[in-house]
A and B are shown apart, each in its own frame.
Chain A
Amino acid sequence: MLRNWRDLPWVSLLVLAALVMIAILAPWIAPHDPEEQSLLARLDPPGWMAGGDWSYPLGTDGLGRDVLSNILFGLRVSLLAGFVAVAISVVIGGVAGLVAGYRSDGWFDTVAMRLVDIQLALPAVLIALAVLAITGRGLWKVIAVIGVVGWAQYARLVRSSVLSERQQDYVIAAMLAGASGPRIVFRHLLPNVLGPLLVQISVDIPRAVELEASLSFLGLGVAVTTPSLGLRVAQGYQYLFSGAWWASVLPGVALVILVLSENLIGDWVRDALDPRARGRRRRRRRVLSAGVPYTVPKVRAG
């Protein structure tokens, strides 16, 4: 898969690594406590602007909170939401898909696939909104909801991979050699599903980050005090009309940089691992595949 180390998306990887470092080190490098309010320093402009003060490098919001510190801590929330939520989706969907594919004639397969159909028929935002409106807000609740809502793609993906791999000679050989069910699934089937799985994961991580930000923006995500980038954009929004753009726009810019770097890495993963995309890149002649695209464009919060 790796033909040349130069093919790696270096810039995106470096940006993402830097953002991860910043998020980890946030408690030590942030100039202020992100929740600390100062009535004397409400809506201070960023340091370089007229009236700005370098003790608040990116200015303050309507409650006098330091924008920079909130961005640093907000990155923590975003990264946590992205990675943990997708991990939850992978575990739930992966296990369901493995079992359903391995026993594709059983009742579990029927029930699971019906559920997948229903789940994919409704926008993820909507389900997440409905659940959160009922359970109330909170960081871990949001992450759990995003994770659970994302299971369907993985269940379908893993199931179809297992179904096609199951017919291969090496699996039949393993069965004949008397290998147990779990051994076949984990030793033989799972490694072969990894490629498409990685592609889906790389697409889903930025999506989960965005979903957390969107839910928090709508006021149904994290608690009001939690420094989530989406929530800070929403809270700064009302001051936009009085010209104090920094409280809303700067957290949004941080979010875009994070999602952009993750998307670019995701693009690269897809090109590197998806044999169809690779062929496309080299302009090789291929058979028409008039089906769905490799990674099905999923619901996006609009």
Chain B
Amino acid sequence: MTRFIGKRILQAVFSVWVVVTLVFVLIHATGNPIAILAPETMSAADKAQLAASLGLDRPFWVQYGRYLGGVLHGDLGLSYYSAQPAMGLILQRIPVTAELVVLAIAIATVFGLPFGIFSAVWPNGVTDRLLRGISVLGSSVPTFFLGILLIFAFSVELHVLPASGAGSIGHYIMPAFTLAFFRIALFTRLTRTSLLDTLSLNYVRTARAKGLSEPVVVLKHALRTAMLPLITVFGLQFGQLFAGAVITETIFALPGMNRLALESLYRLDYPVVLSYVIIVAAMFAAINLLIDLLYGVFDPRVAHAG
């Protein structure tokens, strides 16, 4: 078990390193932050001095080495834009994104799971067909467009919810629902598929033969096994929402970490972008590890050897 976790953490560190290197190379291959940072009226000498103060005048390998050294010490450099520690800036924004993601996953689960169970218990019935239709529609409306439709309906026409900003819970309702919409469809579909698979197994027939009531058979016996493949997807969705909420945060002007990363990209504030990439990559690695461990909890047959 310990070896398994250790191996996975090593793999994760390797992935993060490769990603950071790739982004670092990409950034240095093309962009020149001095051109953005320095006002046009600045003299060439002052520009050179600015570059020197930021370490941008050094050869590529030196910059790369310094950066990696800093990362190992938990120092990801200062933001070019605000001169504050880059990592701190990202971390400050995490709570907003976290609230949004947790709310979205909660909405998606609260709707998706029962919908899926309903569809699996009465497959090809009216409800099942209706839900399938909605779920195809749900996966066809792009996030940004859904957000705009919601704003138009609830902010412009009905004036019931704020269109942008953060602060009250009201600010999170539309963004969370926007993020959740596609996931409701996804969760419904996956729960249905997985539960249908499980309901045709022998042990479920045994449970029925024992005379257990249908709710007990479905919810207690079948659902437990059916949850297994779902854990992977739910978990992955969590990570993807965290790093994929760029569009939602942008539309609703939520000050989350994704919006900060996007803004930093626009203004070539590389230390912040790189910090963001490191956090996201590390988070994905952590989630993958957690999923593997949860598998063991839900299915004792999955042993983590070696």
Chain A interfacial positions (CB closer than 8 Å to B) = 114, 117-118, 121-123, 125-126, 129-131, 133-135, 206, 210, 213-214, 217-218, 220, 230, 233-234, 237, 240-241, 243, 245, 248-249, 252, 255-256, 259-260, 263-264, 267, 280, 283, 285-286, 288-293, 297, 299-302
Q: Which residues of A contact B248 (CB under 8 A)?
A: 302
Q: Please give 20 more A-B residue pairs, beta carbons under 8 A apart, in addition to A130-B265, A288-B201.
A: A121-B19, A123-B244, A125-B247, A126-B243, A129-B265, A134-B29, A214-B143, A218-B246, A230-B142, A241-B155, A252-B145, A255-B142, A256-B140, A256-B142, A259-B140, A260-B136, A263-B140, A291-B229, A297-B236, A302-B179
Name the contact of A243 in the complex, choosing from B27, B156, B193, B225 (C-beta under 8 A). B156
| CA distance in complex: A187, B164 (Å) | 57
Name the 4 nearest CB pairs between A and B, nearest first.
Answer: A302-B244, A260-B140, A133-B265, A252-B145
The secondary structure that dominates the A interface is: helix
Q: Interface readout for B138-154 with A: 1 if CB under 8 Å, 0 if not?
A: 01111111001101100
Given contacts A133-B265, A217-B247, A249-B152, contact A290 B136 (CB under 8 A): no
Contact B240 A299 (CB under 8 A): yes
Contact B140 A134 (CB under 8 A): no
A230: shortest Cβ distance to chain B, in Å? 7
Which residues on the A side are within 8 Å of B155 (C-beta)?
241
Contacts of B26 in A (CB 8 A): 130-131, 134
Partner of A135 from the list B30, B123, B246, B285 (CB cut-off 8 Å) is B30
- Once the chains are docked, how many angstroms separate the CA of A260 from the CA of B31? 38
Complex Cα–Cα for A291 and B193 (A): 12
A213 partner residues in chain B, CB cutoff 8 A: 142, 144
Contact indicator A249/B197 (Cβ below 8 Å): no
Contact between A260 and B200, CB atoms less than 8 A apart: no
Q: How far is the CB of A91 from chain B (nearest CB, A)?
A: 22
Q: Which chain B residues in 132-174 approach chain A with CB under 8 Å?
A: 136-137, 139-145, 148-149, 151-152, 155-156, 163
Name the CB-closest residue of A to B228.
A290
